[in-house]
Copies of this chain bind each other. A is one copy, B any other.
Amino acid sequence: MAHGYVDIKPALLARLSRAEGQVRGIARMIDEDVYCIDVLTQVSAATKALESVALALLEDHLAHCVAEATAEGGPVAEEKLREANAAIARLVRS
């Protein structure tokens, strides 16, 4: 079943491919004894890349899955909102 993010799938996959390359690059830096601060700078960049994937996914989830459920109302809406809020809390605290 396609989800809200089907329209942005190519963009998400491109970002994830870059993030994967960043993580591989960090491993190479460590393998080559690169200075700690330069490695840390790359780790922050990779973390931000993953964060932008999460925010894009969340945006689509709210606009599609959650919006459809809240239009329906009742327990379906409550569960979708509960899930979305738990995902937001995890993001805020990671």
Binding site for B on A (CB under 8 A): 1-6, 9, 12-13, 16-17, 19-20, 23-24, 26-27, 30-31, 33-37, 39-41, 43-44, 46-48, 50-51, 53-55, 57-63, 65-67, 70-71, 77, 81, 83-85, 87-94
Contacts and interface: CB of A to CB of B under 8 A. Distances in A.
A27 B20 contact: yes
B85 A62 contact: yes
B93 A93 contact: yes
A87 to B, nearest CB: 4
Nearest to A65: B36
B23 A19 contact: yes
Contacts of A88: 55, 58, 88, 91
B33 A85 contact: no
16 contacts: A6-B33, A9-B30, A12-B30, A36-B60, A36-B61, A37-B84, A41-B87, A44-B54, A44-B94, A55-B85, A55-B89, A62-B81, A66-B67, A67-B67, A67-B77, A93-B93
